[in-house]
Amino acid sequence: MEQVNKYLDVVIGLGAEKSFTYSLPPHLAHRAVPGQRVVVPLGSRVRTGYIVGLTATKGEYDVKDILDIPDADPLVPPGLMELTRWVGAYYRAPWGMALGVALPPGLEEGVAVRPRKGVAEEPDGLFGEAHALSLNAEQVAAAGQVQAAVKEGSFRPFLLHGATGSGKTEVYLSAIEALKGSGRGAIVLVPEISLTPQLARRFKARFGAEVAVLHSGLTESKRREEWWRIRNGKASVAVGARSAVFAPFTEVGLIIVDEEHDGSYKQEEGVKYHARDVSVMRASMEKCPVVLGSATPSLESYYNAKKGKYTLLELPERVLGRPMPRVHIIDLKDKPGEYPITSVMAGAARERLERGEQALFFLNRRGFSDFLVCRDCGHVPECPSCSISLTFHKSARSLRCHWCGDEQTPPTLCPKCGGDKIKYMGGGTERIEKELEKLYDGVKITRVDRDTVKERGAYAKLLGEVASGESGILLGTQMVSKGHDLPGIGMVGVVLADTGLHHPDFRAAERTFQVVTQVAGRTGRGDTPGEVFVQTFQPEHYALTHAATHDYAGFYAEEIAFRKELGYPPFSRLALVILRAVKPENAEGGAMAAAREFLSAAKGTGVTVLGPAPAPVKRVRGKYRWFVILKGPSATRLHKALDVGIKSLNEKKLLPGCSLDVDVDPQGMV
């Protein structure tokens, strides 16, 4: 019988925008289906790609045969193929790159994907065995609506707005119970790798070996094993960070995004996808419900719920009737000379420690000193590759760039004027640790930030010190503000709430409200009511006044009015166009050209072009950066203007010595 489809469209994990066409040898024809991995010649090299289509024609060019189909069955199920195609198109990345994000590491080198032996290892247990809890009336109502949608097999997006400690996880677990016996999988996303072991343990206590864990903190072989358990039908629940949204279930019955507001769901490099938004799209494609959960929902999600696009489920009370913590605002303007730990905050912590409780101190800035300055000439050492001051880390005796990682030895004399009056200004968690050691002699302090959790297992070990009661004080950055259930913490101290308010970003107030509310929610989870002390130079700022009263609705009302007035999301869609060049004149010239072409492309579309302007951090990793921002009334119009503008720039060759990168729905403007 004559073979009809003799040619294949293959995508390869390169920067190529289009697929490649290959011919199909007869002996492999019976195994060639979309989603199948193939080995192909590309130039003088042999590469691994994926079949995305079969055709009877090859066009006008000569084509080569594929070399092999190494797997018995397709690695990528049809639903995931369609999802990655959408991700590539929406976030302006080649389909092959989007597929690469969805697959475990090593496959491009031809690593075989085989079943694993036995059952995946249990995650480290920090918080004891999880067990089923009886639900209160609000939890029962919320879980019931999600369960009904699960059983219907219909797409319904839910926003679960629950106070910190209100029992959102039990609602998730109950909803997943409704999937039993259906053959459909459940995906559960958490914003940070560090939260995965705690949540995974609770899910494994309920569902056992049905749970697979997916995140980049695992070894490559372990990630492939867990991935294969899902693909092979041995696991029905996938728990993990951002990339777990691409778990290879043949059918998906429920998707849960915990802490849906968290910025960690946005991938900042490569394919710049947002896992929350991809989750909603996958649920739509798979015709299943998706639950977005948070105590501090993103403005976009809450707006969708208020408009009826999402179904709003609310858990306004903490479980077991526990009260929300009382929040005290400390005006640092009234406490001259008392920073970083005022006497009020210090005394409150001491009282809790004397009662056998624990205290949490929070500062969303690591290091010992923000920067060094010469008091003679004012010189501040900067990173040679990035236009940003270097942070002093006392324990390592180094100046470190938090953008590119460059390290230098701190100077004893000013490199500019030779003066010896070097002053250390500001401070991060490392400095606060030294202050706490002076204040609470003999109390063990556990510091959790990016500098202390570099080694595998370090995060679990450090939090274990707090969970076991070995440590009396937990000190950390945003890493300690979300998700953790530590009932021994009776007091939270926010050392400086202002650190994020002055970022050049329209989301600055929202993020400040979220982080203060979230870190405040770490206390009062045991039998004793908690207290929170927030130090600030702006006690009247609405992000802080509403956080102090746990008033999300009040904050939303003020913030949404600001967004509407300026036409920011959710009232528009944004695309950040980044121009990078080694030479500053090339970056500036490219940005000027880009702004002109986008202005032309935007005519009649309702799309506004802002800029060009140098980035707030104008130089990163040796390259100068300029921004152009496109603001459109819809994603469709925004993409049309992007397509026309970029095509024109390329055809006219207007970007010599300059690269162009696009971030659709950017979460940061720095």
Query: Phi, psi (5° rounding) for residue 350?
Result: -60, -40
* pLDDT of amino acid 199: 85
First to last CA, the chain: 61
pLDDT in tens, 37-83: 999 999 899 999 999 999 888 877 789 999 999 988 899 999 999 99
Q: When comparing pLDDT for 104 and 644, which is higher?
A: 644
Q: Are residues 521 and 546 in the same domain?
A: yes
The pLDDT of residue 334 is above 60:
yes
3-class state of residue 356 by DSSP: coil
CA 471 to chain centre: 29
Within 33-129, strands assigned E span 37-42, 45-55
Q: Are residues 556 and 618 in the same domain?
A: no
Domain extent for 653:
573-664
Nearest to 250 by CA among 365, 82, 403: 82
Q: When comparing pLDDT for 467 and 558, which is higher?
A: 558
**Which residues are CB-neighbours of 181 under 8 A, at least 6 positions away?**
none
Nearest to 88 by CA among 8, 12, 187: 12
Q: Are residues 299 and 287 in the same domain?
A: yes
pLDDT in tens, 231-273: 999 999 999 999 999 999 999 999 999 999 999 999 999 999 9
Tokens of 467: 């969970």
Between CA 23 and CA 63 the distance in angstroms is 6
Amino acid at 221: S
321 Rama sector, left if φ>0, alpha if ψ -120 to 50, beta otherwise:
left
CB 641 within 8 A of CB 601: yes
Give every strand in the sheet of 659-664, ordered side by side. Answer: 608-620, 623-632, 573-581, 659-664
Task: Look up residue 68 and give its DSSP letter.
Answer: B
CB 563 within 8 A of CB 299: yes
Q: Is residue 414 part of a domain?
A: no
Q: Is residue 469 part of a domain?
A: yes
Question: What CATH number corresponds to the domain at position 84?
Answer: 3.40.1440.60
* pLDDT of amino acid 190: 94
Amino acid at 135: L
* pLDDT of amino acid 126: 41
Between CA 65 and CA 346 the distance in angstroms is 72
Tokens of 37: 């991995």
The pLDDT of residue 118 is above 60:
no
Nearest to 575 by CA among 17, 90, 15: 90
Task: Look up residue 621 and give its DSSP letter.
Answer: T
Between CA 523 and CA 552 the distance in angstroms is 18
Between CA 488 and CA 486 the distance in angstroms is 6
Q: What is the largest CA-CA distance in the chain?
A: 89
* pLDDT of amino acid 412: 87
Q: Is residue 452 part of a domain?
A: yes
* pLDDT of amino acid 455: 81
Angle subtended at Cα 109 by Cα 106 and Cα 113, rounded to the nearest 5 degrees: 55
Please tell me the total count of domains within the chain: 4
Looking at 286, 319, 352, the residue that finishes a domain is 319
3-class state of residue 463 by DSSP: helix
Q: When comparing pLDDT for 310 and 365, which is higher?
A: 310
pLDDT band at 368 (very low <50, low <70, confident <90, very high): low
The pLDDT of residue 509 is above 90:
yes
pLDDT in tens, 598-644: 999 999 999 999 989 988 888 999 999 999 999 999 999 999 999 99
Long-range contacts of 343-346 (CB under 8 A, 24+ apart): 344/533, 345/493, 345/495, 345/533, 345/535, 346/439
- Share the mean pLDDT of the chain: 90
* pLDDT of amino acid 371: 67
Q: When comparing pLDDT for 103 and 386, which is higher?
A: 103
Q: Is residue 659 part of a domain?
A: yes
**Which residues are CB-neighbours of 281 under 8 A, at least 6 positions away?**
83, 86
* pLDDT of amino acid 573: 96
Per cent of the chain over pLDDT 70 is 94
The pLDDT of residue 15 is above 80:
no
Between CA 251 and CA 144 the distance in angstroms is 22
Q: Are residues 446 and 467 in the same domain?
A: yes
Q: Is residue 558 part of a domain?
A: yes
User: Where does residue 39 rank: exposed (0-12), middle (13-18), buried (19+ CB within 10 A)?
Assistant: middle
Q: How many CA atoms lie within 13 A of 422 on its CB side?
A: 16
Q: Are residues 159 and 267 in the same domain?
A: yes
* pLDDT of amino acid 111: 56
Tokens of 122: 């249990």
Q: When comparing pLDDT for 127 and 601, which is higher?
A: 601
Q: Is residue 409 part of a domain?
A: no
Nearest to 52 by CA among 37, 72, 71: 37
The pLDDT of residue 117 is above 60:
no
Q: Are residues 202 and 279 in the same domain?
A: yes
Q: Are residues 520 and 547 in the same domain?
A: yes
CB 52 within 8 A of CB 81: yes
The pLDDT of residue 1 is above 50:
no
> Residues 90-104: what's their mean pLDDT?
93
Cβ neighbours around 434 below 10 Å, total: 15
Question: What CATH number corresponds to the domain at position 222?
Answer: 3.40.50.300
> Residues 175-200: what's their mean pLDDT?
90
Question: What CATH number corresponds to the domain at position 644?
Answer: 3.30.70.600
